[in-house]
Amino acid sequence: MKKQQRLVVRTAILLVLLAAVGYTIYANFFTEKTAVAVGSTAPDFVLTDLNGQKHRLSDYRGKGVFLNFWGTWCNPCKREMPYMNDWYPVYKQQGVEILAVNVGEPKLSVKKFAERFGLTFPIVIDQEDQVLNAYNVGPLPTTFLIDKNGKVKQIITGTMTKEDIRRHLESIKP
């Protein structure tokens, strides 16, 4: 009797595992993945900044948004963050917002990084990489230029110079 019960339990476990593997294969190969593309509406999200304030992308409608995905360990990110900070007060007055999305690092690490560089623009943390995945971000840094209507105007992968950042901020002024 015990052998028969063990067989039933093992068979049930095997079936559950096979179903999970089957679903994973289906989800990865047979479902349509919609990547964010130039001209598409930027996916909305809500993330919390280092001060506990929530930021919803759709709340920035009417403004240009420089949406930058970055990490504290990313050397190109370290180079461009001070440039972004230099231009932030200039373009904020002209209706352009910089929103930096950290990719799931501990709040303390992000806060120390922001303090070390004296960053003044909003920094939010994507703890579970949901926004990173929704935007299908690959290498860091990646920046999405979003116009006042919430449409993606351009996607930039890799580091930018101070002049590149100024030019991109200029291009999304409302």
46-48 and 64-70 beta bridge pairing = unpaired
Helix%, strand%, coil% for the chain, nearest 5: 45, 20, 35
- pLDDT tens figures, 38-91: 999 999 999 999 999 999 999 999 999 999 999 999 999 999 999 999 999 999
CATH among 3.40.30.10, 3.40.50.1820, 3.30.1330.20, 3.40.50.970 for 46-171? 3.40.30.10
What is the DSSP code string of 113-139?
Answer: HHHHHT--S-EEE-TTSHHHHHTT--S
Summarize pLDDT for 85-125 with one digit per residue, the tens.
999 999 999 999 999 999 999 999 999 999 999 999 999 99
Domain ranges of the chain: 1-31, 46-171
Q: CA nearest 125: which of 99, 104, 144?
A: 104
Torsion of Cα atoms, 73 then 150 then 46 then 97, to 10°: 60
Tell whether pTM > 0.85.
no
